[in-house]
Structures are given as structure tokens and as C-alpha cells.
């Protein structure tokens, strides 16, 4: 598939849509003003009435003729006859004919039918003169305005009870594929939980569309063609979601060709290259790739501009933040690439770190703070550049987010949950990449803390030697967090009867390892060396997972007979566990962050009994000494 540059693809598609009559603006409709919030005006609104439409009293008090109050003083007050020269009026009343000012009630004295005025009153005081706010025929709201609450008020206040708006664009989203299943924990291997339709529908609704996600379509080609034809008749745009399942894209292409024309087949966009743009029955139709991040990116870059255009709206761009990028990003110069990043406000300022870019990993876009666009023609971004991050969260919420990068531990997820519930304006965003990478992230200023369990092979000491070696110039504290049991994660019943590391070298035993740099890997290598076991003798030593739970899942699913990990991971997947060692898992925190307002609520949660008891109850954890500073540099 040869890929067309994004801008060329959009231009070519629009040209074809235009020629097919599929690009005109949406028809207008007239709806009650009270229901028009968020809708887009199809025509300017001009005032039918002035506001106020009469000289309105702006204060409870007495209407007077200002000329009659001239010369009034405390000593020589002017007396006005009530009912003739002074009339009681309420806020909002029409000013009586011939009167030109109001004296507030509290500035007057009333005595037996007379009003005493002790100071002269300026003409038009406390009067909202006719047209003060707006005047008949004035422009109230231009065409193509997305209506905010105050716009509704101004339109109603100018005498309109209805407003002319564009009909909302109607978008159909049809997931294609034989093996799509609804969300459930009970799915078979090869079945895929279909959620793109609800994600894309929610995005389209944010952009002002009416979105109809269809159930998964798994009929034969003829049935699908009928289904899509019906959807085209009822909608302004049809998006086929070609599923993560092979072959579905070919199906999508055949459907489009059967009903209309394919204009673009593949766009130089990453993630999201595998799109097909076409039109059928005078409507745009698009096939969106199946991996969730690809689907979201393609939908945002290709469908959103079309909706904006239909509604006469400028394309909206998210707020941007300039951030330091300590690590090089590589990009394909033939592609427009969109890289998800997290952004931490650390001792180096705003610092961006790329997340894993797997298009199938929706959690990366849940965790991401923003996206860096690397345009076609660039082969990446060099380390220590400043980059513009298009934000997926508000700058304020990013500034209140604590970033953990390091070894993953379930206790950190408990911490994230308890922090958010106790302090709604703080979040803990945790990226599990292993202990050593955590320390390197601190050195680069990408994170506020790193969970580490690094054994020094020479001394058998935990963490402090690694901190000295890897963070020689950064003042940090090392805080005791948990001691946790490391051991063999085994299938239920321990069918291969494994009890020690030495048992892993037995023929027919397959191991699943952790990646180099992770604390568990170092623990394994340390004990193998002490025991004189050759790693090469362990089948599967070279197969690596990146988290405790991924190791447990590999054992659970029969990929391996054993892995080294923590009890919590084994237990959560209902596996057996053979404890071998007790290891120290500490938090390393740069001193500047340890003393910051940002982290204070997190430290308070760590200090709470509730948190400690919850972690202890997971099993396999020793929480004594949690929160103590065991080392400072």
C-alpha cells in the first residue's frame, strides 16, 4: 500500500467529495433557544428588541425629576410630594413618564406624604436607559458561533424564542469483524472486545455530532453492503471500523467499492495509516483502522476537520505546553507521526517522556498527558530539545499530577487510588518500566519518584549503591516503602514440582524472565551467580516480560512453567507461589520534590494507617518502617 501524505490525502478526498456533492454545509433548522446550547448558528442573530426595551428602574426607591432636587442639602432638604413629584418604584419597573432619576430608598426620609431629599440627584441616575445593553437591529451573535450559555441569554433577551442552527451532523460507526465481543471478562482467545465504536462515538459527540455506534457487523459481504447502504441513507458520514481482525480491511474496501468509490487507500500517518477514504451515495465514507490508538488518531485527524467544516467552525487545537524532551525520539520522515507523552513538572521544568507507542495499547492514551506531532520530512527530535505538546488534559491537572517511573508494584496502584480520593486535585500517574530505568528517568527530570528494588551484586545491599552510582549529582532521599516476597510464580498445584532456582534448569521446564535493568532480573542474576547456575541452562531465560503481572499471566496461560515475581501478582491471577527471598522496594525521590507542595498529599497518604493496612492485606508485603527516610544524598 503506498501511503499518501496526510495533507494530500485530505485535499484529494475533499476534492472528490466536492465533485460528488458530498461536501456542502449541513441544512439549517430552527430550534427553541433553550435547547440550543452547544449548537452552531447557521445565520447571524440580529436584535428584534432593545434591551432594556424601556427606561428601566435599576434600584428600589423613588422616581423623581432631577431638576427638582437642585440645591438640596442636609441642612436645607428639598421636600417632594409623594404620589406627584416622587413615586415609589421597584427595580425593573418602567420609569414613569416625565421622571428622569431614582433615589434609592435608603438615601431618603419619608414624612407624612412627603419625601425629604438631602442632596441633588443627577439625571438618569439608577436608570437603565433603553438600549443600554443592546439596541434593535444590532448584531447579537454572528453566524457559525457555537452557542455558550451567555449567547442563549443574549439571543432570548433580544426577543428571539427560536434560533436558526445547523442540523447536527449524523455519524454512523459500524464495527466490522467476525470475532468481536461485547465487554466481558469471559472472552475466548482470538475474540476481541469491541470498544472502538463507543470511543469514536464519544469523540464525535464532543465535536457536536449525533453519533450512532452500531453493534458489530459479522454478516457476509452482501449483508454488509445492505447494512452500510441503509446507514448511508440515514447519516451524513459512515465510518467503518475495520477491526483488529485480519481481512476486515479488505472487506471494508470491497463494501466501499460496491457502493461508491475509493479515493485514498492508506495515509502516511502514524498511528493510523491504514485508512480508506471514499464516498458513496453522495456521502463521505471512511474505513478506520482497528487498533484503538490508530482509530482515535485517524478519526481525529481526518473526520474532525470535515465536521468542523460542515459546521463552519475553525479547527480547534488543544492547548499546548512547551516541554523539555531529554530523550531522542525517532520518526519516519515519510510519515506524520503523533507520539504520546507524559509531562512532569519537575526540578527541570516541564519535561516530556514518550510512552510506549504500541497502537494497540489504549492505556497509553489513557495515561498520556499529550501528543507531540513530528511532521513528515523530519526524522525525529534530538534529545534535550524543547517540544510543543498538544495537551490531552488541562495544564492545571498536569501541574497537579505526580509522575512515577520505575518498577511497578500493586501498592502504587492502591496509592494512586487513595491519593485521588483523599485529594481530588492530585493524581499519581505510574509508568512501570523497571528499577534502573526509573533512576535514569529521575536523572533526566522525567519523574517525581521512582520505585526501585535493585540488589547490588557485590554487597547484597539494596538500592543505595544503585542510587550512588546512577544519581551522583542529584540530591535525593530514599524512602522505605515495602519489603515484599519474591518467589516462583507457578501454575495451580505446581505440576512440575518446582521449589528452587535450581529446579528451573530441569529439562522440560520453561521459564519466563524479566527485562534487564528490572530489580527482579538483578535479583535472579545475583542468586544464580551465588548458586553457580548458568543462565543458559534455563530454558526461557531469554524471554522477557515487563511487569510482575505479565509474568504471572504468562504462567497462567501456559507460556511458561514458572517466573520470578511477587506474591500479589500470583494471587491476583489465582496462581501458586513459592517464596524465595524478601526484597526491599524503596521510593527514590529527588530532594526538591520530597519537600514540594505537589508531593505533600502523597506523603500524607503513605503515612496513613488506612494505606498501610490496605497494602498489608494484599499479602506478601511487610510494611514496617514505611515512610522512613533511610538515606539522603
Of 280-339, binders to a copy of itself (CB under 8 A) are: 290, 292, 296, 308, 312-317, 319
**In angstroms, rounded to a whole number, what is the distance separating the alpha carbons of residues 58 and 351?**
53
| Residue 72 Cβ vs a copy of itself, minimum distance, rounded to whole Å | 19
Residue 144 is a binding residue for a copy of itself (CB under 8 A): yes
C-alpha to C-alpha distances, 622 to 116, 409, 581, nearest whole angstrom? 83, 13, 12
In SS3 terms, 383-448 reads as: CCEEEEEEECCCHHHHHCEEEEEECCCHHHHHHHHHHHHHCCCCEEEEEECCHHHHHHHHHHCCCC
Give the nearest distance from C-beta 91 to a copy of itself in angstroms. 4
Identify the residue among 23, 64, 101, 154 touching a copy of itself (CB under 8 A): 154
Query: For 105-168, where are the E strands, in sequence order?
Result: 109-111, 114-117, 127-128, 139-141, 162-166
Q: Decide if residue 604 touches a copy of itself (CB under 8 A).
A: no
> Cβ–Cβ contacts within 10 Å for residue 613, how many?
10
Q: Report the nearest approach of a copy of itself to the CB of residue 632 (Å).
A: 30
Closest CA to 585 of 484, 443, 458: 484
Distance CA 32, CA 30 (A): 7
Q: Distance (Å, rounded) from C-alpha 529 to C-alpha 511?
A: 17
Q: Shortest Cβ distance from residue 84 to a copy of itself (Å)? A: 20
User: What's the CA angle centered on 274, arms 268 and 277, to 5 degrees?
Assistant: 85
Q: Does 355 bind a copy of itself (CB under 8 A)?
A: no
Is residue 341 at the binding interface for a copy of itself, with CB under 8 A as the rule? no
**Does 60 participate in binding a copy of itself (rule CB under 8 A)?**
yes
In order of 89, 164, 592, the CA distances from 5 in angstroms are 70, 38, 45
375 binds a copy of itself (CB under 8 A): no
Among positions 71, 113, 219, 246, the unique one binding a copy of itself when judged by CB under 8 A? 246
164 counts as binding a copy of itself under rule CB under 8 A: no
Backbone angles phi, psi at 368, to 5 degrees: -65, 145
Residues 74-103 that bind a copy of itself (CB under 8 A): 89-94, 97
Q: Does 600 bind a copy of itself (CB under 8 A)?
A: no
Residues 524-553 that bind a copy of itself (CB under 8 A): 542-543, 545, 547, 549-550, 552-553
Q: Is 388 in the site for a copy of itself (CB under 8 A)?
A: no
Single residue of 7, 30, 73, 394 touching a copy of itself by CB under 8 A: 394
Answer yes or no whether residue 28 interacts with a copy of itself by CB under 8 A: no
Taking CB under 8 A as the rule, does residue 198 contact a copy of itself? yes
366 makes contact with a copy of itself (CB under 8 A)? yes
- Four-point Cα dihedral 534, 536, 538, 541, nearest 10: 120
**Residue 256 Cβ, how far from a copy of itself at the closest point, in Å?**
20
Three-state secondary structure call for residue 173 = strand
Contact pick of 44, 330, 469, 617 for a copy of itself (by CB under 8 A): 44
Q: Which stretch binds a copy of itself (CB under 8 A): 219-227, 328-336, 343-351, 411-419?
A: 411-419
Please tell me whether residue 57 binds a copy of itself under the rule CB under 8 A. yes
- Determine the 3-state secondary structure of 210 from DSSP: strand
Residues within window 564-593 making contact with a copy of itself, judged by CB under 8 A: 572-573
Q: Which residue's CB is nearer to a copy of itself, number 9 or number 359?
A: 359
Residue 560 interacting with a copy of itself (CB under 8 A): no
| Binds a copy of itself by CB under 8 A, chosen from 244, 298, 476, 623 | 244
Report the residue number, 262 or 392, with the smaller CB distance to a copy of itself. Answer: 392
The reply to whether 190 sits near a copy of itself by the rule CB under 8 A is yes
Residue 397 φ/ψ region, left for φ over 0, alpha for ψ in the -120 to 50 degree band, beta for the rest: alpha
**Least separation in angstroms between CB 558 and a copy of itself:** 8
What is the C-alpha radius of gyration for the chain, rounded to an integer number of angstroms? Answer: 34
Cα dihedral 339→344→350→354 (10° resolution): -20
Amino acid at each position: 500500500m503506498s501511503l499518501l501524505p496526510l495533507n494530500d490525502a485530505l485535499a484529494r478526498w475533499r476534492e472528490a467529495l466536492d465533485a460528488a456533492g458530498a461536501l456542502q454545509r449541513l441544512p439549517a433548522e430552527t430550534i427553541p433557544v433553550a435547547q440550543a446550547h452547544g449548537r452552531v448558528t447557521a445565520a447571524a442573530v440580529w436584535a428584534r428588541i432593545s434591551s432594556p426595551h424601556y427606561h428601566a428602574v435599576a434600584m428600589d426607591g423613588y422616581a423623581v425629576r432631577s431638576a427638582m432636587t437642585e440645591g438640596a442639602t442636609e441642612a436645607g432638604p428639598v421636600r417632594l410630594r409623594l404620589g406627584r413629584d416622587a413615586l415609589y418604584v421597584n427595580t425593573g419597573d418602567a420609569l414613569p413618564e416625565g421622571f428622569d432619576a431614582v433615589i434609592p430608598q435608603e438615601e431618603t426620609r419619608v414624612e407624612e406624604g412627603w419625601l425629604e431629599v438631602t442632596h441633588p440627584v443627577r439625571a438618569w441616575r439608577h436608570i437603565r436607559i433603553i438600549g443600554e445593553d443592546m439596541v434593535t437591529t444590532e448584531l447579537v451573535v454572528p453566524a457559525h458561533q457555537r452557542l455558550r450559555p451567555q449567547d442563549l441569554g443574549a439571543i432570548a433577551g433580544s426577543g428571539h424564542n427560536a434560533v436558526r442552527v445547523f442540523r447536527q451532523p449524523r455519524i454512523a460507526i459500524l464495527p466490522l469483524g467476525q470475532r468481536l465481543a461485547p465487554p466481558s471478562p469471559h472472552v475466548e482467545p482470538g475474540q476481541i472486545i469491541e470498544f472502538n465504536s463507543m470511543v469514536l462515538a464519544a469523540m464525535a459527540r464532543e465535536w457536536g455530532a449525533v453519533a450512532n455506534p452500531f453493534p458489530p457487523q459479522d454478516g457476509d459481504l452482501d449483508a454488509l453492503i445492505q447494512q452500510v447502504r441503509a446507514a448511508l441513507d440515514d447519516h451524513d458520514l459512515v465510518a467503518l471500523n475495520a477491526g483488529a481482525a485480519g481481512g476486515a480491511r479488505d472487506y471494508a474496501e470491497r463494501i466501499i467499492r460496491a457502493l461508491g468509490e475509493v479515493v485514498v487507500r492508506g495515509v502516511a500517518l502514524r498511528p493510523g495509516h491504514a485508512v480508506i477514504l471514499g464516498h458513496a451515495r453522495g456521502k463521505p465514507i471512511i474505513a478506520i483502522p482497528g487498533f484503538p490508538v490508530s482509530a482515535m488518531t485517524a478519526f481525529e485527524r481526518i473526520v474532525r476537520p470535515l465536521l468542523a467544516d460542515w459546521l463552519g467552525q475553525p479547527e480547534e487545537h488543544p492547548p499546548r505546553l512547551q516541554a523539555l524532551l531529554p530523550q531522542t525520539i525517532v520518526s519516519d520522515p515519510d510519515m506524520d507521526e503523533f507520539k504520546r507523552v507524559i509531562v512532569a513538572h519537575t526540578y527541570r521544568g516541564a519535561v516530556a517522556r514518550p510512552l510506549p507507542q504500541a497502537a494497540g495499547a489504549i492505556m497509553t492514551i489513557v495515561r498520556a498527558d499529550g501528543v507531540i506531532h513530528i511532521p513528515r520530512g523530519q526524522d525525529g527530535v534530538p534529545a534535550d530539545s524543547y517540544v510543543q505538546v498538544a495537551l490531552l488534559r488541562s495544564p492545571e491537572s498536569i501541574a497537579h499530577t505526580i509522575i512515577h517511573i520505575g518498577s511497578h508494584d500493586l501498592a502504587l496502584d492502591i496509592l494512586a487510588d487513595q491519593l485521588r480520593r483523599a485529594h481530588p486535585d492530585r493524581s499519581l500517574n505510574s509508568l512501570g518500566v523497571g528499577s534502573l530505568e526509573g533512576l535514569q528517568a529521575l536523572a533526566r527530570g522525567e519523574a517525581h519518584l521512582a520505585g526501585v528494588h535493585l540488589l547490588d551484586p557485590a554487597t547484597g545491599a539494596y538500592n543505595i549503591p544503585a542510587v550512588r552510582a546512577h544519581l551522583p549529582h542529584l540530591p535525593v532521599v530514599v524512602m522505605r516503602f515495602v519489603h515484599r516476597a519474591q518467589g516462583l510464580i507457578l501454575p495451580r498445584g505446581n505440576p512440575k514440582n518446582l521449589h528452587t532456582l535450581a529446579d528451573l534448569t530441569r529439562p522440560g521446564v520453561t521459564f519466563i524472565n524479566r527485562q534487564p535493568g528490572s530489580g527482579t532480573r538483578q535479583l535472579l542474576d545475583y542468586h544464580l551467580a551465588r548458586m553457580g547456575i548458568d543462565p543458559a541452562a534455563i530454558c526461557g531465560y531469554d524471554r522477557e516480560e515487563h511487569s510482575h503481572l505479565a509474568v504471572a499471566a504468562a504462567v497462567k496461560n501456559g507460556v511458561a512453567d514458572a517466573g520470578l515475581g511477587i506474591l500479589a501478582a500470583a494471587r491476583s491471577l489465582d496462581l501458586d507461589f513459592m517464596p524465595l527471598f524478601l526484597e526491599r522496594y524503596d521510593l527514590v525521590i529527588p530532594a526538591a520534590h520530597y519537600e514540594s507542595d505537589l508531593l505533600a498529599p502523597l506523603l500524607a497518604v503513605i503515612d496513613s494507617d488506612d494505606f498501610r493496612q490496605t497494602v498489608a492485606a494484599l499479602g506478601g508485603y511487610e510494611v514496617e518502617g514505611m515512610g522512613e527516610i533511610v538515606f539522603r544524598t
